Structure 1
Amino acid sequence: MPVKKKLTAVCVLTAAVCLFAATAFAETGDVAGVIQSTWQSAVQQIKTVVNTVVFPALDLILVTAFFVKAGTTYYEYRKHGQIEWTGLILLFAGLVLSLTAPLYIWTIAGV
C-alpha cells in the first residue's frame, strides 16, 4: 500500500509541475536580448525593494543597538568611572554608512 501512495504522490507532483510550468519563447531567436531585458526590469525591482525595505530595516536595527549600547555605556560609566567608546563609535559609523548607502551602493555594484 505505501508504494501505491508514493506512486500516486509522484504522479500528482509530475502533473502539477507540467500544469504550472511556463515556457518562454524568444520571438526572433534573440535569447540574450530577452534575458538582458528581463534582468533590467528585475534590477529596478531589486533596487526598489532594497532601498525601501532592506536599508530602513538595517537602520532600525542599528539605531536600536546604538541606543542600547549608549545606555549600557552610561551605566558602566556610573559603575566603573570610565567610558568605553569603541562600541558606540563602531555602531555610529555603521549607522552613518547604512543611512548614506542608497546614494552610492548602486554605482559601486555597477547596477
Structure 2
Amino acid sequence: MKINKKIALTMCMVLIGILMFSTTALASGTGDVAGAIEDTWSDASEQIKTVVNKVVFPAIDLVLAVFFFAKLGTAYFDYRKHGQFEWAAPAILFACLVFTLTAPAYIWKILGM
C-alpha cells in the first residue's frame, strides 16, 4: 500500500510540474494556426542558420580534420612498415572535410531557406 501511495504522489507531482511549466500556443484572433507556425518558423530560421553555420559545421569540420590527419599518419606508418600506401580512408575523409567546409555556402539554397 505504501508503494502505491508513493507512485500516486510521484505521478501527481509530475502532472503538477507539467502543468506549471507548459504554455499554451494560441493563434492570433483569427484562429489561423498554420499562419502562427509559419511566422514562428520564419523568425527562428535565421537563428537556426546562424547556429548551424557558426557552431555545428565548425564542430564537424574539427572532428573530420582530426580524423583525417590521424588516418593520414597511420597510413604513413603503415606505408613505412609494409611499403604500400592505402589512399581510400584518407581520401574519403578529405572529401567529407571539403564537403562540410563548403556546405554553408550552398546548403541553405538547397533546403530553400
**TM-score higher than 0.5 here?**
yes
Within 5 Å, which residues of 2 pair with 1:79-98? 79-98=81-100
What is the SS of the residue equivalent to 1:8?
helix
Q: Is the 8 A contact 2:28 2:36 kept in 1?
A: no
**Which position in structure 2 is the counterpart of 1:19?**
20
Q: How does 1:19-58 map to 2 (within 5 A)?
A: 19-28=20-29, 29-58=31-60
Residue of structure 2 equivalent to 1:104: 106
CA–CA separation in structure 1 for the residues paired with 2:36 and 2:104: 28
| CA distances 1:75-105 after superposition (whole Å, capped 9, x unpaired) | 1111122211122211111111110000011
**Aligned with 2:72 (options 58, 66, 70):** 70
Structure 1 gaps, min length 5: none
The Cα RMSD (Å) is 1.3
- CA deviations over 1:7-63 (Å, ceiling 9, x no partner): 111222222222222112223222211110111122222212211111111111111
User: For structure 2, which runs of at least 5 residues remain unmatched after alignment?
Assistant: none
Q: 1: CA distance between counterparts of 2:10 and 2:82?
A: 66
Equivalent residue, structure 2, for 1:59: 61
CA distance in structure 1 between the partners assigned to 2:68 and 2:90 by the alignment: 6
The whole-number CA distance in structure 1 between the counterparts of 2:22 and 2:100 is 40
- More relative contact order in 1 or in 2 (CA 8 Å, sep 6+)? 1
Whole-angstrom distance in 1 between the partners of 2:19 and 2:83: 70
Q: TM-score, normalised by structure 1?
A: 0.90
> Percentage identity across aligned positions?
53
Superposition misfits of 4+ residues, deviation over 3 angstroms? none
Aligned residues: 111
- 3-state DSSP of counterpart to 1:26: coil
